[in-house]
Amino acid sequence: MDRKLLDLLVCPATRQPLALLDKAGLAALNAAIAAGEVKRADDAPQSGPLREALVTHDHRLVYRVDDGIPVLLVEEGIPTAQVADFPKA
């Protein structure tokens, strides 16, 4: 993801800055998705694994990145409280 774009992006719900989710966070999230334990903010299950994602500064919300395009829809955000091994901020 382009660094200049990343510097401009904020969470649409909290207005916190966003950062790329690190490998440990992505692995924990994808393990929970594979186990069927992850729901988006709209209560729909997150069915597929994520290749790339953005996380809020406080590590409470994750937004997926599809083919280099951030999906910054509040209803499609993924609350991280449901992922037991998710790294804290």
In a domain, 19, yes or no: yes
Per-residue model confidence (pLDDT) at position 73: 97
In a domain, 89, yes or no: no
Per-residue model confidence (pLDDT) at position 1: 66
Q: How many domains, in total, are found in the chain?
A: 1
List CB contacts of 64: < 8 A, sequence separation 6 or more.
Answer: 46, 50, 52, 53, 70, 71, 76, 78
- List strand residue ranges (DSSP E) for 3-79, in order: 18-20, 53-56, 61-66, 69-70, 78-79
Q: Which residues of 31-65 are buried (b: 16+ CB within 10 A; e: fewer)?
A: bbbeeeebebeeeeebeeebeebbbbeebbbbbbb
What range does the domain containing 56 cover?
Answer: 3-82
Interatomic CA distance for residues 30 and 60, integer angstroms: 16
* Per-residue tens of pLDDT for the chain, all 89 residues: 677 877 889 999 999 999 999 999 999 999 999 999 999 999 999 989 999 999 999 999 999 999 999 999 999 999 999 999 899 87
In a domain, 88, yes or no: no
In a domain, 72, yes or no: yes
**pTM as predicted:** 0.92
Per-residue model confidence (pLDDT) at position 2: 72
